[in-house]
Amino acid sequence: MSDLPQTQEVGDISTLDGNSQAISQIWGGLFPLKRNMPPLRSVSMSKESYTVGREGSCDIVLTSEMFTHGTLLSAVSKVHFRIARVNTSVSPQVFIYDLSTNGTFVNGQKIGKGRMQPLCNNDEISIATQNCFLFTDTLSSEYPDEVSSKYTICRSLGRVTFRGACGEVRIAYARETCVQYAMKIVPKRTFSSHRSRFGNRELTEVEILKKLNYPCIVKIHDVIETEETLFIVLELVEGGELFDRILNSGHLSEDDSKFFFLQMLMATKYLHDNGITHRDLKPENILLAGNSNRCLIKLTDFGLSKIVKDNTMLRTFCGTPTYLAPEVLLTAGNGTYTSSIDVWSLGVILYVCLVGYPPFTDERKDCDLKTQITHGLYDFPDVFWKGVSESAKDLVRRLMCVNPTERITLEDALLHPWLSDQVIRDQLADLMKTAGFPDLVDGVLDPRNLISCVRCNSSSTPVKLDGDANGTDSGENNETVSYLGNSSTTRKRSFEEMTGNSCQSQSKKSAF
């Protein structure tokens, strides 16, 4: 092979997956496109990779008889291209690697020497000016041309979880760049009798995400709507859900909880500053950008969100009951409630992070779930909370205040002593810089300097965060805020105070 031209491979398979193994099942095929190519028969592909060229050691050897003009063989490199099925960190994917001097083309587009791209079902592979092969992915399903012309869609998500309100999520490769995305696929038939409602819900998710650009918010890249299906192309977040992180570890340490929760507050505040209430905050809708305990979080699943105009109340009854605010349950969604419902949900999430079980559960026999939530019937049993600081408990109490007018604001939560840990803030500031958001660093290091880079607006001028999410002066709640241990004026009302009855304290139940 020493006499081969300088058409070295793009890289070892191990650069994409260190655990590649031989593949026994047939995953693809190559079919000759010209009838005058008798020496070449269709090839069923079951090995992990195949080389094609004029060198005799190639898996598929090209000869002059295979070309309409025999002189075209001179344009073929000894190893012209390689096709490989790679077990990436997400799921198996087929790639074509251009190793040639004169070019390998897929559907008429040149790949370029030293480059690769995903290969999908029915792609035509050309050498020089001649179409030579049709590639078929025997494991793939068909997608509309509007989608397949831009993306290669994998068969499954593999280890990545990305749950949506409806539909499924798969890994998609942008054909031009090989960048991986999460593609949410929503068949319109799932709208059924609630067609308008469910269609609007998904479209709302699209419109909201299009406007957002924040390191702790899942970014939307593309939307393709066909007659039967809606395809939403989202930033791929590979660290899984906070739900699973808590489930696998039992609970998070106080430092880890603090690191993630600081990001949740900042991301939720960013949403509120842009007139958006999430309304379905829960561990399943908080994704992790990596597997370490010092990674960015990503809020996702805005299918239940709604853009709130100034002084507008939310009237849609939706969300996950365990994390729903009391005012939502009390009115069954028919009353008025504000963005502070997200603050309550964050309090429940923090509670779950710290001890691994929820403050409210429908497994209690003495009080139903609604009663527990609307009366603020939660506690901090020493057997489970002994190692948790009083400052953390104080923040939970302030977040989970039954009366929304007494509930702590996001601004004040960011200033809470529990979150004043400079080591944690320095770690997060470094991540923000690495993620390409250096303008957020000052706000991370000192929340009094917190600014919202409202990139979704036409103005590029940073906006200082004044007032609450609904345009009212947050100062009206400041007088009720005290950071002196347990002297919080946002004390939960007991069941006895509300009804004169009593409920036994719950035993620890897993949140999951």
| Helix, strand, coil % over all residues of the chain, rounded to 5 | 30, 20, 50
Write out the DSSP string of 19-46: T-----S--EEEEES-TT-TT---EEE-
Go through 410-439 and write b for each residue having 16 or more CB atoms within 10 A of its CB, e for each that does not: bbbbbbbebbeeeebbebbbebbeeeebee
- Cα(27)–Cα(64) distance, rounded to whole angstroms? 29
Question: Across the beta sheet with 220-225, what order do the strands follow?
Answer: 151-153, 168-174, 180-187, 229-235, 220-225
294, burial (CB in 10 Å: exposed 0-12, middle 13-18, buried 19+): middle
Q: Residue 30's CB: how many other CB atoms inside 10 A?
A: 22
DSSP tag of 268: H
Q: Which residues are catalytic?
A: 280
- Cα(281)–Cα(323) distance, rounded to whole angstroms? 7
The helix/strand/coil state of 448 is helix
Q: Tokens representing 47? A: 């090995």
The helix/strand/coil state of 407 is coil
Sign of CA dihedral 163, 168, 174, 180: positive
Radius of gyration of the chain from its Cα atoms, rounded to whole angstroms: 28
Question: Across the beta sheet with 109-110, what order do the strands follow?
Answer: 43-45, 28-32, 130-137, 123-127, 104-106, 109-110
